[in-house]
Amino acid sequence: QVHLVESGGGLVQAGGSLRLSCAASGRTSSIKTWGWFRQAPGKEREFVAARSSITGNTWYATSVNGRFTISRDNAKNTMDLQMNRLNPKAAAAYYCAADRDHLPSRSANSYDDWGQGTQVTVSS
Query: Is 51 a residue whose pLDDT tops 80?
Result: yes
Bridge partners of 121, per DSSP, are 11
Helices (H) and strands (E) in the chain, counts: 0, 11
**pLDDT grade, residue 101 (50/70/90)?**
confident
Element holding 22 (H helix, E strand):
strand 18-26
Largest CA distance in the chain: 41
* Burial class (CB within 10 angstroms; exposed 0-12, middle 13-18, buried 19+) of 61: middle
Q: Tell me the C-alpha distance between 114 and 89, whole Å.
A: 23
- Average pLDDT score over residue span 33-52: 97
Query: Is 102 a residue whose pLDDT tops 80?
Result: no
pLDDT in tens, 54-88: 999 999 999 999 999 999 988 888 999 999 999 99
- Average pLDDT score over residue span 13-30: 95
- Average pLDDT score over residue span 18-33: 94
- Average pLDDT score over residue span 93-121: 94
pLDDT value at residue 121:
98
Q: State how beta strands 18-26 and 78-83 pair.
A: antiparallel
Q: Tell me the C-alpha distance between 49 and 70, whole Å.
A: 7
AA letter at 91: A
pLDDT value at residue 78:
92
